[in-house]
Amino acid sequence: MRTASEITALFTGPQVHRDVYTSPEVYRLEMTHLFANTWVFVGHESQTPKKGDYFTTQIGDQPVIQVRHSDGEIYVLFNRCPHKGTKIAIDREGNTGKFFRCPYHAWSFKTNGCLLAIPLKKGYEDTGFEDSESAKGMTPVGAVRNYRGFVFARLAPEGIGFEDYFGGSLSSIDNMVDRSPEGRLEIAGPPLRYMHKCNWKMLVENQTDTCHPMVAHESSAGTAVNIWKEMGNPEPRPPAMEIIAPFMSPYEFFEKMGIRTWPNGHGHTGVHHSIHSDYSAIPGYFESLCETYGEERAKAILDENRHNTVYFPNIMIKGPIQQLRNFIPLGPDKTLVESYIYRLVGAPDQLLARTAMYNRMINAPTSIVGHDDLEMYERAQEGLMSNGMEWVNVQRLRTGDEEFDQEAVENGTTERQMRNQFDAWVKFMTVSMEDA
Amino acid sequence: MPVTREQVIDFIYDEARMLDEGRYDEWLSLWLEDGHYWMPLDYKQTDPHLVTSLLYEDMFMLRLRVERLNGARTFSQKPKSRCHHVIQRPFIDEMREDRIVTNTSMHYVETRLDEQFLLALTAIHELAVVDGAIRIANKRVDILNSDAAFGNIQLLP
Q: What is the pLDDT of residues A238-249, one digit of tens each?
A: 988 999 999 999
- pLDDT of A409: 97
Q: Do A238 and B148 touch (CB under 8 A)?
A: no
DSSP for residue A334: E
Cβ contacts of residue A200 below 8 Å, gap of 6+?
A314, A327, A328, A329, A335
pLDDT digits (tens, 9 = 90+) for A410-425: 999 999 999 999 999 9
Structural domain boundaries in chain B = 5-143
Sheet holding A62-68, edge to edge: A74-78, A62-68, A53-59, A93-95
The CATH number of domain A191-430, selected from 3.90.380.10, 3.40.50.620, 1.10.287.110, 3.60.70.12 = 3.90.380.10
Q: Do B52 and A192 touch (CB under 8 A)?
A: yes
Query: Nearest to residue A51, comparing CAs of A15, A1, A94, A109?
Result: A94
Q: How far apart are CA A45 and CA A201, in angstroms?
A: 26
Helices (H), chain B: 5-20, 24-28, 59-69
Average pLDDT, chain A: 96
Cβ contacts of B55 on chain A, cutoff 8 Å: 360, 364, 366
Q: Is the pLDDT confidence value at A435 over 90?
A: no
- pLDDT of A27: 98
Phi, psi of A42 (to 5 degrees): -110, -60
Cβ contacts of A196 on chain B, cutoff 8 Å: 151
| Topology (CATH) of A40-147 | Rieske Iron-sulfur Protein (2.102.10)
CB A316 within 8 A of CB A328: no
Determine the distance in angstroms separating the CA of B17 from the nearest CA of chain A, rounded to an integer: 21
Cβ contacts of residue A211 below 8 Å, gap of 6+?
A251, A254, A396, A413
All residue ranges of chain B with pLDDT < 50 are none
Structural domain boundaries in chain A = 40-147, 191-430
Tell me the average pLDDT across A97-106. Answer: 98
Query: Nearest to residue A40, comparing CAs of A151, A123, A164?
Result: A151
Q: What would be the CATH architecture of the domain defined by B5-143?
A: Roll (3.10)
Q: Is the pLDDT confidence value at A373 over 70?
A: yes
Cβ contacts of B151 on chain A, cutoff 8 Å: 194-197, 365, 374
Q: Is B69 helix (H, G, I), strand (E, B) or coil?
A: helix
| A49-86 CB burial, b ≥16 within 10 A, e <16 | eebbbbbbbbbbebbbbbbbbeeeebbbbbbbbbeeee
Say which of A343, A360, A374 has its CB closest to residue B54: A360
Q: How far apart are CA A185 and CA A341, in angstroms?
A: 10
Q: Do A356 and B51 touch (CB under 8 A)?
A: yes
CB A176 within 8 A of CB A319: yes
Q: Is A6 helix (H, G, I), strand (E, B) or coil?
A: helix
Q: Is A47 helix (H, G, I), strand (E, B) or coil?
A: helix
CB B64 within 8 A of CB A368: yes
Say which of B68, B148, B153 has its CB closest to residue A193: B148
pLDDT digits (tens, 9 = 90+) for A18-60: 999 999 999 999 999 999 999 999 999 999 999 999 999 999 9
User: At A420, which helix (H) or strand (E)?
Assistant: helix A416-430
Tell me the average pLDDT across A384-407. Answer: 96
| A152-187 CB burial, b ≥16 within 10 A, e <16 | bbbbbeebbebeebbeebbbbbbbbbbbbbebbbbb
Phi, psi of A424 (to 5 degrees): -70, -35
Query: Nearest to residue A20, comparing CAs of A427, A430, A432, A426?
Result: A426
DSSP for residue A219: I
Q: Do A193 and B71 touch (CB under 8 A)?
A: no
Q: Do B151 and A196 touch (CB under 8 A)?
A: yes
Q: Is A67 helix (H, G, I), strand (E, B) or coil?
A: strand
Helices (H), A23-109: 24-29, 35-37
Whole-angstrom Cα Rg for chain A: 23
Residue B154 touches chain A, beta carbons under 8 Å: yes
**Distance linking the first and last C-alpha atoms of chain B:** 30
Q: How far apart are CA B10 and CA B90, in angstroms?
A: 9
pLDDT digits (tens, 9 = 90+) for A115-156: 999 999 999 999 999 999 999 999 999 999 999 999 999 999
Determine the distance in angstroms separating the CA of A238 from the nearest CA of chain B, rounded to an integer: 7
